[in-house]
Amino acid sequence: MAPIRGRSLLPYLERRSDTAHDAEEAIGWELFGGRAIRQGGWKAVFIPAPAGVGTWQLYDLAADPGETNDLAGTRAAQLATLVACWLRYVAETGVVLERD
């Protein structure tokens, strides 16, 4: 059995820490073919068609908390950084990806 990933949020909840995660820490998740990775104020999301566009989207959560302005076309380097973080998450956790 694999150990549970993560750490306690207690310091944040008890206000002994200003943040729940370090700015450089990448947090990934997946569900029903959808994928997401967040690092600092940035979030990349992949939602397969027909529910989504079927490509990676990029959001600046500080400026756009509602995730309405996809910056993937104008911030390619930032998106590439997050996708690299996603691939590390996949390798570390053994996520099985469907073919795109």
d(C-alpha 26, C-alpha 65), whole Å:
18
Mean pLDDT along residues 23-44? 92
User: What is the rounded average pLDDT for all residues in the chain?
Assistant: 91
Q: Please state the domain extents for the chain.
A: 25-93
Count how many Cα atoms sit within 13 Å of the Cα of residue 25 in the half-sphere of its side chain. 7
**What pLDDT score does 24 carry?**
85
**What pLDDT score does 99 carry?**
64
pTM for this prediction: 0.83
Q: Is the pLDDT of residue 19 over 90?
A: no
Percent of the chain scoring above 70 in pLDDT = 96
Q: Residue 46 pairs with which residues in a beta bridge? A: 35, 56
Is the domain defined by 25-93 classed in CATH 3.30.1120.10? yes
Burial of 86 (0-12, 13-18, 19+ CB in 10 A): buried
